[in-house]
Structure 1
């Protein structure tokens, strides 16, 4: 139960988060490169079109069987999951809780007290849940980074919950 984090307060739905399951989520972010690379505009339709086109080209060129390169890519992805440092955007979870229209503050509850953030900044938070392939246990279950990465060297630790005010 110590790995469970709640989003509560001025929300329509209280949400329970279990960061130990996020390793299987395709929305995870590779934090070793996330703050380094320039942020590109998310154009999901264009990305989808490129992915489908690449797959179609591969099938035309190599047939529908899995070539050794595809098997190698899958193996690389599995190894990356086992050794990578990952995080998740907080925004989808916060928005799924359907905060009330007058919500203006997010309290990050930690074992050492509460940290107050304006709601506009809270939607950009990143929750780190994995460090070198291992769940964060000692001072976790998540570490919180601001969206701009300004606290990369000193993330918010020992998070126990979120309260929307």
Structure 2
């Protein structure tokens, strides 16, 4: 239970987060390069719709032809997962919890009993680091919080055991 994080407070849906499964999540980002790149705001529904439309058009024109699977690509992806340092955007979890309209802050409950409060707008733009060099963050985890602009890249908020929205 020490790796489970509860999201509670002024939310419609309290959540239980398990960072151990995020390694398989397609929304994860490479934390070693994330802050060095430009990020464009993408409407995810629009991008998904466009992708599905292109796939549908291709199948109509060419038939359901699937390219052979490239084993070297699969091997590269597996090695990347086993050795990578990853994070996941926090916005997905905050959105799924559906904070109340009057909610203005997020408080990270730390394992040493301390609390760290931030405006909800800052947290939604941030990232939860959950993996370092292919290993889960056990020593001072299970997650680290990074501001979206990377200003605390070298000194993230660590030892997060719970999240309270108020």
Q: Matches of 1:18 and 1:101 in 2, distance apart? A: 26
CA 46–21 in structure 1, closer or farther in 2 if over 3 Å, else same: closer
5 Å-filtered alignment, 1:1-165, equals 1-42=1-42, 44=44, 45=46, 49=51, 64-66=66-68, 70-112=70-112, 113-165=114-166
Q: Matches of 1:5 and 1:46 in 2, distance apart? A: 30
Work out the number of aligned pairs and report it.
Answer: 156
Q: Matches of 2:95 and 2:125 in 1, distance apart? A: 12
Once the 2 structures are TM-superposed, how far is the Cα of residue 38 of structure 1 from its aligned partner?
A: 1.2
**TM-score, scaled relative to structure 1:** 0.86
**TM-score, scaled relative to structure 2:** 0.85
CA 65–29 in structure 1, closer or farther in 2 if over 3 Å, else same: closer
RMSD, aligned α-carbons: 2.1
SS of match in other structure, 1:115: strand
- Structure 1: which 5+ residue stretches go unaligned? none
- Structure 2: which 5+ residue stretches go unaligned? none
